[in-house]
Amino acid sequence: QVQLTESGGGSVKTGGSLRLSCVPSTYIERTYCKAWVRQVPGKAREVVASIFHTGGLNTHYGAAAKGRFSISQDTLDSTLYLQMNSLEPDDTAMYFCAAGPRSDLGDLCNRPDDFAYWGQGTQVTVSS
């Protein structure tokens, strides 16, 4: 069983930046994807960014994140990060760290409801 612990959320103004972190409780297999998924109450979950191994380490970004957000992973302790720049009010959501077998999540690890493991979430609020 993998436990994921997020931190780094908060309240910022439009144009601000935040860096989210996610620490896994144990080693996560290379065949697993890791991702940041966000959800606004009453709306569907959205994969913001994912990271996975296919030969090398690859990333995929949702449309809203491209050019503004960056997902990365510490090679020593497997901490997952999401650097968010140029934040907008539409980025306001609960952000979850998630992980699961890539076989369940598609080639780009972008099936938001199919991750096996979830963190408790960290709230990001962007005000104008």
Q: Rounded to whole angstroms, how far apart are CA atoms 43 and 37?
A: 12
The whole-number pLDDT of residue 120 equals: 97
Q: Rounded to whole angstroms, how far apart are CA atoms 40 and 114?
A: 18
Give the mean pLDDT of 17-39.
Answer: 95
pLDDT digits (tens, 9 = 90+) for 35-62: 999 999 999 999 999 999 988 899 999 9
The whole-number pLDDT of residue 55 equals: 85
User: Chain centroid to CA 3: how far?
Assistant: 15
The whole-number pLDDT of residue 75 equals: 80
Q: Rounded to whole angstroms, how far apart are CA atoms 20 and 8?
A: 4
Q: Rounded to whole angstroms, how far apart are CA atoms 16 and 97?
A: 21
pLDDT digits (tens, 9 = 90+) for 5-18: 999 999 999 999 99
Mean confidence (pLDDT) of the chain:
95
The whole-number pLDDT of residue 59 equals: 96
The whole-number pLDDT of residue 69 equals: 98
Whether 23 contacts 44, CB under 8 Å? no
Write phi, then psi, for 105 (nearest 5 degrees). Answer: -120, 0
pLDDT digits (tens, 9 = 90+) for 61-90: 999 998 999 999 988 778 999 999 999 999
> Which residues make beta-bridge pairs with 24?
4
